[in-house]
């Protein structure tokens, strides 16, 4: 006869079940409320996650979230609130899975570490050779100022003392020398590109 009693017992509203859960922390009350909307929650999770097992897991995790979040919120429309909670849960789960997803690498497209290292060394040597050629092409005082500043690490004042040039002239020679080096290196790179 218990079966008949439960059918004939008055059905509590969402608001009544929420109030009862907040007062007593009775998980049966929350379970009774959640059971009404489990299909809705599952549908939302399946829509966003596109994975049956992931959606089932999320349905259980959302119930656990309800235990914590429902007492903290004043919910007037439980169905809409639960829908939004489910949607947010799925979006956060997707974000965290994307953050930790593994990239698939095609081994055929990857280079051996030794080859990459060797290529880097060869490129540096080529650049140094080009730089040396361009440095040799600079006018005398520009070349001296650039070498002292960049290769020997001297400051403007030290270069001025070493060369007997004025500080402003040293600065000008370094700036012009750097510009001319860049122009020369760009010409070298375009010449080797063809």
Q: Alpha-carbon torsion 73, 79, 84, 88, what sign?
A: positive
pLDDT given at position 131 = 78
- The ranges assigned to domains in the chain are 10-99, 135-193
- The residues, any chain, with a CB within 8 Å of residue 137's CB and separated by 6 or more, are 180, 184
Reported pTM = 0.48
Query: Which one, of 27, 37, 34, 23, lies nearest residue 71 by Cα?
Result: 23
Please state which CATH number belongs to domain 135-193: 1.10.10.10
- The residues, any chain, with a CB within 8 Å of residue 49's CB and separated by 6 or more, are 55, 58, 90, 93, 94
Greater confidence (31 vs 194) lies with: 31
pLDDT given at position 184 = 87
Q: What is the pLDDT of residues 109-147, one digit of tens each?
A: 555 555 555 556 667 777 778 878 888 888 888 889 888
Please state which CATH number belongs to domain 10-99: 1.10.1740.10
């Amino acid at each position: 006869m218990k079966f008949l009693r439960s059918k004939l017992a008055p059905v509590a509203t969402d608001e009544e079940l929420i109030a009862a859960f907040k007062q007593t922390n009775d998980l049966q009350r929350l379970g009774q409320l959640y059971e009404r909307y489990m299909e809705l929650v599952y549908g939302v999770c399946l829509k966003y996650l596109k994975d049956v097992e992931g959606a089932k897991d999320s349905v259980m995790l959302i119930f656990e979230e309800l235990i914590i979040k429902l007492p903290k919120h004043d919910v007037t429309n439980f169905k809409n609130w639960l829908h939004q909670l489910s949607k947010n849960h799925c979006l956060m789960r997707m974000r965290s899975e994307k953050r930790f997803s593994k990239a698939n690498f095609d081994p055929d497209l990857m280079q051996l570490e030794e080859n990459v290292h060797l290529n880097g060394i060869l490129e540096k040597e080529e650049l140094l050779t080009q730089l040396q050629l361009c440095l040799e092409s600079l006018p005398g005082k520009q070349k001296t100022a650039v070498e002292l500043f960049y290769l020997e690490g001297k400051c403007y004042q030290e270069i001025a003392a070493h060369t007997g040039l004025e500080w402003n002239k040293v600065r000008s020679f370094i700036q012009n020398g750097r510009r001319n080096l860049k122009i020369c290196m760009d010409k070298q790179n375009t010449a080797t590109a063809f």
